[in-house]
Structure 1
Amino acid sequence: MLKGIPSILSPELLKVLAEMGHSDEIVLADGNFPAASHSQKLIRCDGHDIPDILEAVLELFPLDSYVEQPGALMKVESGDNVTPTIWEDYKKITKVDLEMMDRFDFYERAKKAYAIVATGERALYANIILKKGVVSE
C-alpha cells in the first residue's frame, strides 16, 4: 500500500502510467468499446466508472500543454438519439478543449495508443483518449 495514490488505480495501471512518456496516449474505454481487439496493452478496470478513473489519472500526470486538444471523444453516430451528458463531466475534470472524432477515426487512433483501460462505464459514447504531458514537478 502507498500513501497519496488514488486507490482506484491498480498496480498494473500505475505501471503503465509511469511507463508512458510525453505525448503517449491512453484510452479510457466504456463497457461497449472493443478494447481487447484494439489494444497493444489492455488494462482491466471492470466495475469502475470513467470519471473516477479520469480524476485519479490526472492526479498523477498532466495533459499535454503543447497541443490544442490533449484529449479526444467519439462523436455520436448520425441516427443515434443520444446526448452524452458524461462529456460535461469530462470537461469539468480535464479543464481542456476536447477533440471530437468520427467513430472509425477514433478506433484507429485508439489502436495506436500506449494502452487501453477497459472500464465498467455504462454511459454511451463515454470513451476518451488522453495525451500525456510533461511531468515537471
Structure 2
Amino acid sequence: MKKHGMINRDIAASLASFGHTDLLVIADCGLPIPSNVPCIDLSYQLGEPAFLTILRAVLDDFQAEKAFIASEIKTQNPEIEADVLTLTNTDYISHNELKELSKKAKLIIRTGEATPYANIVLQSGVIF
C-alpha cells in the first residue's frame, strides 16, 4: 500500500500517465463533462468533497506549470479565487473558454463543490 501522495488508485494511475502540457480539470459538480473525456467522480453529496480539498491533494502529487480559471470567479467566488491564486500560477479565461478547454483534457476530476466557478484546468509541467 502507498504511504504518501494520492491514494485514490484511479487518480494515482491517471496522474502517472500525464506528460508535459497534458490538461487536468478539477471541476465543481455543475461543470459539463465532455463525453470523450474520462471523469473520476468523487462527489458523494452536495459540497463534498470540496474543490479546494481535492485541488490541494492533487497539487501535492502533480506538477502543474500553469492553471486556468474562469474570470467570472473574481466577482462570483472571490474566496475560492484567493486560495487558488496562492496555490498555482494562474491565468484567467472566460468560463466558456474553460468549458471548451476542458474538452481537450486528459482527465476530469469531479468534486461535490457547489459554489460558482470552482473549476480549474491544470497544465502538466515537468519535474526536472
* TM-score, structure 2 normalization: 0.86
Alignment-derived partner of residue 2 in structure 1? 2
Q: Tell whether 2:107 aligns with 1:111.
A: no
Corresponding residue of 1:45: 42
C-alpha change, 1:38 and 1:89, in structure 2 (3 Å) is farther
Q: Contact 1:24–1:131 at 8 Å: present in 2 too? A: yes
Percent identical across equivalent pairs?
A: 30
From 1, 22, 25, the counterpart of 1:24 = 22
RMSD, aligned α-carbons: 1.8
Deviation at 1:75, TM superposition (A): 2.3
Structure 1 portions without partners, runs of 5+: 65-69
User: 1:25 touches 1:132 (CA, 8 Å); kept in 2?
Assistant: yes
- Provide structure 2 residue ranges, at least 5 long, that are not aligned to the other structure: none
Shift of 1:5: 2.1
Q: Which whole-Å CA distance do the structure 1 matches of 2:79 and 2:110 have between them? A: 20
Aligned pair count reads 123
Q: Map residues 1-137 of structure 1 onto 2, 5 A cutoff.
A: 1-7=1-7, 10-35=8-33, 37=34, 39-46=36-43, 47-64=48-65, 70-76=66-72, 82-94=76-88, 96=89, 98-136=90-128
Q: Which residue of 2 is the match for residue 67 of structure 1?
A: none
* Separation (CA, whole Å) in 2 of partners of 1:41 and 1:109: 14
Q: Is the 8 A contact 1:38 1:107 kept in 2?
A: no
Indicate conservation of the 8 Å contact 1:76/1:125, yes or no. Answer: yes
TM (norm. structure 1) is: 0.81
Runs of at least 4 residues off by over 4 Å: none
